[in-house]
A and B are shown apart, each in its own frame.
Chain A
Amino acid sequence: MAEKKISLMDTVKQASKGVISGIDKKDVEHWVEIYFLGKAYQVPAGLTIMQALEYAGYRLIRSCGCRAGFCGACSTVFRRKGEYKLQTAMACQTRVEDGMYLVQIPFSPAEKPLYDIEKEKYEASVFLKYFPEVARCVSCNTCTKACPQDLQVMDYVQAALKGDYKQVAELSFECIQCGLCAIRCPAEIVQYHVAQFGRRMYGKYGIPREENTEKRVKEIKNGEFNKKFEEIMSLSEEELRSVYTEQQNTREVY
């Protein structure tokens, strides 16, 4: 049984070989050629741009964060072979294609205005107070085309212009702040900062609060659970176990 267990773990380790360390050339069957900063590299087909760059020998410092599409670190701009249009993508979520011609943009030099949402009124004009450049939006839709999350960026910028906090929040919720919209915008709007402000204002002023939470905070502060805690914390492990098992039996259906 012991041998089986050890080989079990080794088998598992073998199965994930390609993702826990560098890829070995002999394990690769299909190849493509990509150009990074103009240099050609032969890389395994089917890898993400990020994995392909690492295969080519780049130890990533910038342009690498969560590796899962959430953090916006690996913003990439590329052209496909034979095409003139610039495409945008996140390197960790996009597969390489033969002839791909790419560069990464690890940073967007965007200023963020400073505000204290405690002190702001929930009014339309506040958007223009902190983001006057929003009025420069020409509705060219370049930001929407640049967004790797397929968000309707122009629409939420226009919503900001109209003071519609709810729409800004709803349309921009999945923004990973990768900066590609801001880099491309001809009106120098920093869309993701506008969106962050809109979301916070909506979350704070536009949605009612649940009273239970407020109530519970007060109850805890008043020590209403102290006695119960003292009881529970004085139980032996045996007793605690049986309390736990009983409690699990009363679990709410999920």
Chain B
Amino acid sequence: MAELEFVGGYPTYMRESIKKVEQTRNRRIGKLVDQMTPKEREDILNLCHPDYAPGGKRELKIGPNKGDIVPNEVADLLEAYPLVNPDKIDLSVVDYDTDILIIGGGLAGTSAALLANDNGIPADRILLTNKLRHGDANSMMAQGGTQAADRPNDSPVLHYIDAMGGGHFTNKPDVLRALVEDAPGVIKWLEELGALFDKDENGNFVELTGGGTARRRMHACADYTGMEELRVIRDEFRNRKIPVLEFFPAIELLTDEENKVVGAILWNMETDEYKIVRAKATVLATGGFGRLHIRGFPTTNHYGATYDGPVMAYRTGARLRDADTVQYHPTGAAYPQQIIGLLLTEKLRTSGAQPVNKDGEEFVFPLEPRDVEAASFIRECYIRENGVKTPTGMKGIWLDTPLIDILNGPGATEKAFPAMVRMFQRFGIDMIKDPVLVFPTLHYQNGGIETDPEGSTNIKGLFVAGEISGGVHGKNRLMGNSTLDCMVFGRRAGVHSAEYVKKGVDVGQPGLKHVKKYVDELKSAKIETDRKSPLLLPDYRGKAALARGIDIF
């Protein structure tokens, strides 16, 4: 391969395609391709959405959801052996005795801690544990916004209908209702805590729409929405002196004789030492599974998104819901190599950026629901062969970002997307002058451990909140409903786990009977593998180094 010459961050051959985009730009302004009909949407999903394409999923052989279809990577973790040996581990010494153990400190876990504290649980009777640092979570990276129906021309009912439609009518109705009814209260709560939302001079929110939403109800903090929200509630958490552990993932839940969840085994990732936590209630808020790279897709998720929570919960008998669906965000960065898979928020399209193919032609309505949009990008690249190929072999289509300043005035892109402008600048690309290359990326776990409006599960003592839960979004989540989900159900899990504790919980002897039972099931189902789970961290070490590795310590 000849040496590549780069202009403005792009190799010259990609510049050719950019020229075509520039040529068609003027005629495309304000003119959008029509929205698809429901039948067209269904067709394209079946044609090339990774969730629908065969070969990626299989039936679960064991557990409460035996017989259900889940992605292979998920099944690999559920049908795997525990990290601890139930017969060899000493559970007699309890290191932490607490009322509420929260596993995972993103928006959901931190909200749960705050609300539990607000509702009568003293700070020192709550323990939040994190696999990495407190705040290392997908929440920190959320960009676009938080939905809440607070305008007069909008209502929670409209929000409900939008989310139902986007979820292909599979959402759990009472759970979804809880989401949309609590939403304005969550915004108010954040305002009182001092979060800085985009507002005009009069204090009114600047609200935009998102894919599949009929009204403008997205509350954003530039393109740092998740970061701002989490920073604020984490600061409040710290002010309350609630105990927190870092680099201490949970590697197994503990149950008692009644199969109530009564705590967890935590593992110090840096010293290999395990600790036993006995808790009256446990809230699982471990987030997503992007680092499983389902179907080989890159991901927007953070380093620790490895499906730990559902694996541990499933072993206790907690039911999964909609675990077969995976959300691929249509616009993940596809170039340059260093940022492949990273999130380019939907708000880009809401602000006017249009997806176009290598010839500068528009080919889809910019704001279809995410699964439809992603499928159409894949079709454009790999079936119609109209994508642009990068030097590393990734294919993508252009997102015409210069339209944002053209439609909204100079400086609009910098104001609304400072994080993204900076990210591209670091790699020599000016997204205000040039389009950026995008391709779908693995983004969100639509389903998960089934929840109810109170954040409880079918296992006593086990609560869930956030991306780990299933039922809120049905089979497909809308933009702006995830940060909302985390905070609504984080708060509810906090409130209800507190109530559960206050009623009086008889914590039996913490044990791993459920794990032994699970291992027996694995053996009966003839699952022979040396796979172990939870995964904890992905492995990106260079193959050469690994091939020469000796495991001495």
Task: Tell me which of B164, B185, B270, B340 has the highest count of chain A C-beta atoms within 10 A of its own C-beta.
Answer: B164
Contact A210 B297 (CB under 8 A): no
Q: Are B203 and A208 in contact (CB under 8 A)?
A: yes
Q: Which B residue's beta carbon lies closest to that of A52?
A: B542
CB of A213 within 8 A of CB of B188, answer yes
- B194 pairs with A202, CB closer than 8 A: yes
B9-47 at interface with A (beta carbon < 8 Å)? 35, 38, 47
> B37-74 CB contact bits vs A (8 Å, 1 = yes)?
01000000001101001111000000000000000000
- B521: CB under 8 A from chain A? no
Contacts A22-B546, A214-B188 given; does A200 touch B232 at CB 8 Å: yes
CA–CA, A136 and B345, complex, Å: 41
A254 to B295, CA, bound (A): 33
B545 touches A55 (CB 8 A): yes
Between B194, B215, B227, B343, the greatest number of chain A beta carbons within 10 A of the residue's beta carbon is seen for B194
Distance (whole angstroms) from the CB of B241 to the closest CB of chain A: 7
Of B132, B150, B427, the contact of A216 (CB 8 Å cutoff): B150
Asked whether A228 and B378 contact (CB < 8 A) given A5-B53, A210-B205, A220-B184, the answer is no
Contact of B337 among A46, A177, A241, A248 (CB under 8 A): A46
Contact in complex: A232, B160 (CB < 8 Å): yes
Chain B residues closer than 8 Å to A228, beta-carbon distance: 155, 157
Those of B413-458 within 8 Å (CB) of chain A: 418-419, 422-423, 426-427
Contact across chains for A251 and B160 when beta carbons are under 8 A apart: no
Q: Please give, as numbers and ranges, the residues of chain B lying within 8 Å of A209 by CB-CB distance.
A: 191, 203
Give the contacts of A7-42 with B (CB-CB under 8 A): 8-25, 29
The reply to whether B136 and A149 contact each other, CB–CB distance below 8 Å, is no
Q: How far is the CB of B343 from chain A (nearest CB, A)?
A: 7
Cβ-defined contact, A213 with B184, below 8 A? yes
Decide: A217 and B185 in contact? CB cutoff 8 A: yes
Chain B nearest CB, measured from A182 CB (Å)? 16
Interface presence of B127 (CB below 8 A): no
**Per-residue CB proximity of B204-237 to A under 8 Å, as 1/0?**
1100110011111000001010111001100100
Residue of A2, A150, A209 contacting most chain B CB atoms (<10 Å): A209
Min CB gap A26→B, angstroms:
9
Contact between A212 and B394, CB atoms less than 8 A apart: no
Contact mask A170-181 → B, CB, 8 Å, 1/0?
000110110000
Interface membership of chain B positions 142-157, coded 1 if the CB is closer than 8 angstroms to chain A and 0 otherwise: 0000001111110111
Contacts of A71 in B (CB 8 A): 133, 135-136, 140-141, 227, 302
The answer on a CB contact under 8 Å between B302 and A19 is no
Output the residue of A208, A237, A252 with the most chain B CB within 10 A: A252
Most chain B CB within 10 A, of A57, A233, A248, is at A248
Q: Which of A76-84, A114-122, A152-160 contacts B (4 or more CB under 8 A)?
A: A114-122
- Contact, CB under 8 Å: A73 / B224: no
Chain A 159-199 residues near chain B, CB threshold 8 A:
169, 173-174, 176-177, 196-197, 199
Q: Which of B1, B185, B231, B537 contacts A61 (CB 8 A)?
A: B537
A137 interface hit (Cβ, 8 Å): no
- Asked if residues A254 and B156 are in contact (CB atoms below 8 Å), the reply is no
Is A65 a contact of B540 with CB atoms below 8 Å? no
Are the CB atoms of A19 and B181 closer together than 8 Å? no
Contacts of B197 in A (CB 8 A): 203
Beta-carbon contact of B169 and A6 below 8 Å: no
Q: What is the bound-complex CA distance between A241 and B241, given in angstroms?
A: 48
B295–A9 touching, CB < 8 Å: yes
A216 touching B149 by the CB < 8 A rule?
yes
Whether a CB of chain B sits under 8 angstroms from the CB of A201 is yes
Give 1 or 0 for each of B352-393: 1 = CB within 8 Å of chain A CB. Answer: 000000000000000100000000001000110000000011
CB nearest neighbor in A for B131: A61
Q: List, in ascending order, chain B residues with CB within 8 A of A144's CB.
A: none
CB of A64 within 8 A of CB of B303, answer yes
Q: What's the nearest-Cβ distance from chain B to residue A30, in Å? A: 9
Closest A residue to B157 using CB positions:
A228
| Inter-subunit contact B141/A66 (CB<8 Å) | yes
Interface size class of B (residues with CB under 8 A): 35 or more
In the bound assembly, the distance between CA atoms of A177 and B169 in angstroms comes to 41
**Is A54 interfacial (CB 8 A cutoff)?**
yes
Q: B532 at the A/B interface (Cβ < 8 Å)?
A: no
A104 within 8 Å of B by Cβ?
no
B295 adjacent to A240 (CB under 8 Å): no
A94 to B418, CA, bound (A): 18
A25 and B239 within 8 A (CB): no
CB pair A176 B194 closer than 8 Å: no
A17 and B296 alpha carbons, distance in the complex (Å): 8
Closest to A205 in B: B194
Alpha-carbon distance A182/B550, docked complex (angstroms): 39
Chain B 117-140 interface mask (CB, 8 Å, partner A; 1/0): 000000000000000110110001
Q: In whole angstroms, how far apart are the Cα atoms of A200 and B236 in the complex?
A: 10
A250: shortest Cβ distance to chain B, in Å? 6
Q: Nearest residue in A to B226 (C-beta to C-beta)?
A: A70
Cβ–Cβ < 8 Å partners of B427 in chain A:
95
Given that A9-B50, A25-B542, A48-B338 are known contacts, is A204 also in contact with B214, CB under 8 Å in the complex?
A: no
Report the Cα distance A102→B439, complex, angstroms. 33
| Closest CB in chain A relative to B9 CB, distance in Å | 12
Chain A residues closer than 8 Å to B193, beta-carbon distance: 117, 200, 203-204
Also in contact, A18 and B337, with CB within 8 A (given A12-B382, A225-B155): yes
* B525 contacts chain A at the CB level, 8 A cutoff: no
A 97-136 contacts with B by CB, 8 A: 112, 114-117
Contacts A61-B269, A66-B302 given; does A21 touch B539 at CB 8 Å: yes
A142 within 8 A of B: no
Q: Report which residue of A71, A117, A207 has the largest number of chain B beta carbons within 10 angstroms of its beta carbon.
A: A71
Tell me the smallest distance from the CB of A234 to a CB of chain B, in Å. 10
Contacts of B269 in A (CB 8 A): 61
CA distance A244 to B212 in the complex (A): 10
**Nearest Cβ on chain A to B295's Cβ, whole angstroms:** 6
Does B517 sit within 8 A of A, measured CB to CB? no
The 8 Å CB contact of B177, one of A149, A212, A233, is A233
Q: How far is the CA of A23 from the CA of B541 in the complex (A)?
A: 7
The reply to whether A55 and B542 contact each other, CB–CB distance below 8 Å, is yes
Given A8-B382, A115-B239, A173-B224, A73 contacting B133 (CB threshold 8 A): yes
Beyond A10-B296, A12-B50, A22-B539, 12 extra complex contacts between A and B, CB < 8 Å: A9-B53, A14-B296, A20-B298, A21-B539, A22-B543, A24-B544, A64-B132, A93-B338, A95-B338, A200-B194, A210-B204, A228-B155
What are 29 A-B contacts with C-beta separation under 8 Å? A11-B382, A15-B392, A16-B340, A16-B394, A19-B340, A21-B539, A21-B540, A22-B542, A23-B540, A24-B542, A56-B545, A61-B269, A68-B302, A68-B339, A169-B196, A200-B193, A202-B194, A203-B194, A203-B195, A204-B194, A212-B150, A216-B150, A220-B156, A229-B177, A240-B164, A241-B38, A247-B162, A248-B35, A251-B215
**Chain B residues near A (Cβ < 8 Å):** 1, 35, 38, 47-48, 50, 53-56, 132-133, 135-136, 140-141, 148-153, 155-158, 160-162, 164-165, 169, 173-174, 177, 181, 184-185, 187-188, 191-197, 199, 202-205, 208-209, 212-216, 222, 224, 226-228, 231-232, 235, 238-239, 241, 247, 269-270, 293, 295-298, 300, 302-303, 337-343, 350, 367, 378, 382-383, 392-395, 418-419, 422-423, 426-427, 537, 539-546, 549
